[in-house]
Homo-oligomer: A and B are copies of this chain.
Amino acid sequence: MNIYDIAKLAGVSYATVSRVINNKDDVKQETRERVQKILDEHGYLPNSFARGLSMSGMKLIGILLIDVRNLHHSNTAFHIETEFAKFGYTSFIAGCGLDNTKQEEYLRVMASRNVDGLVLIGSRFQNEETRKNIKKYFSGKPVVIANGYLDLPNVCGIVDEERKAVAGVVDLLVSRGHRNIAFVNDYVTFSAQEKEAGFMEGIERNNILYNENNIRHIKTDIDVSIVESEKLFSLNRDITAAIYSEDLMAVGGVKACGRLNLKIPDDISIIGFNNSIYSDVSTPRISTIDNKRYDLGAKCTDALYAMLKGKKVEPVVKIIPELIHKETTNLIE
C-alpha cells in the first residue's frame, strides 16, 4: 500500500494524499476526511526510506554506546531515547563494543542513516581515532559525548568531574582520621585513569603515606575483586578505607571483609562508585560516589536538542559527583 494505491481508491491524485498525510492545510475538509478514512482502513504506513530521501531532516538521532552490558550506559541511552521521543524524534541505538574498528563502522552506519544528531556514550570515545571519524563523517552535525570530550566545533562533552570527586573523598577520609587508604581500579578506561589521578591528588595534598600496595588494578568482576581485596587487606593490615572505581568491585571488597572477619565500617570503610543498584543490593549497602547518571542523560538531551535547534552550547558541561553515605562508612560528622 503506497500513496498511489490510496490515491486511486480515493479518486484523488497522490499529491493530495501526501498532503493529507502531512497535515498540510490546503485540502478541503471533505476530501481530507475521505482520504483519511481510506488511509486508516488500509493501515497505510509511509515508507521512511522514501520519506528520508525527499526530506532533509528525518528527525532521527543516533545513540552509540561502547559497552552494552554496562547498566549505566544503557540506562543513559534509553533515557535519551525517551526524552527525544517526546520531541518527535526516533532514536537509533547501537552498541559498538570495545573494538576500535567496529567503532568506525558504526559511526559510518550512523552517518549513512543520516541521523540529525549523535550521542556517544562512554569515556572511551575520548580518543584521537574517534575525533578523526567524527570530523570525517559528522562535521557540521551536532554530536554529544556522555562522559567524555573532544575538541571539535560541533562536539559538546558532558563530563563528570570524577577526578575532583575522588580527591575530595580522600580529603574527607583523612579529615576523619584515616591514614592508610586503598584504591582499586579498572584502569583501562579514560574514566578510570581520571579517578586514579584524583586518588593520587588526594594522597599527595594530604601528605599521606602510600606505596604500590595501596593501589590495585583489576577487572570489573565480583570474584576477581574478592580475591584481590583479600590480598590487599591481608598484605596491608593498616588499611582502614578502600575506594573502588565501580560499585561492582566494591561488592567484592565487602565480601572479602566478610571472609577476613573485618567489621564494616568499624575496622574498614568501603566506598564504591556510581551509586548503582548494586550498592543497594549489597548487604551492607555500600556508600558510593554518585556520578548522577540520571543527570547525565538529561544533560545530553538538553545539549543535543539545543544544538539541533541551532543554538550555541557550552562545549563542556560539568557534572559534580557526590558521596552518598550508606552503610559502609561512618564519615558523617
Contacts and interface: CB of A to CB of B under 8 A. Distances in A.
Contact of A47 (B112, B248, B255): B112
B47 A136 contact: no
Contact of A283 (B47, B58, B93, B283): B283
B93 A45 contact: no
A190 interface: no
How many copies of the polypeptide does the oligomer hold?
A: 2
A74 B92 CA distance: 14
Given A43-B136, A97-B82, A281 B109 contact: no
A45 B75 CA distance: 30
Contacts of A91: 94
A130 interface: no
A108 B278 CA distance: 36
B112 A46 contact: yes
A48 interface: yes
A315 interface: no
Contacts of A68: 74-75, 78, 81-82
A53 interface: yes
Contacts of A47: 53, 112, 114
A160 B92 CA distance: 29
A69 interface: yes
A48 B109 CA distance: 9
Interface string A129-145: 00000001100000000
A216 interface: no
A207 B134 CA distance: 66
B90 A109 contact: yes
A332 interface: no
A260 interface: no
B45 A111 contact: yes
For the complex of A and B, the 6 pairs showing the least CB-CB separation, nearest first, are A49-B52, A68-B78, A281-B281, A93-B93, A49-B53, A45-B112
Given A74-B74, A277-B278, A282-B282, 13 more contacts: A48-B113, A49-B50, A49-B51, A49-B52, A50-B53, A68-B81, A69-B75, A69-B78, A74-B78, A78-B95, A81-B94, A258-B283, A278-B278
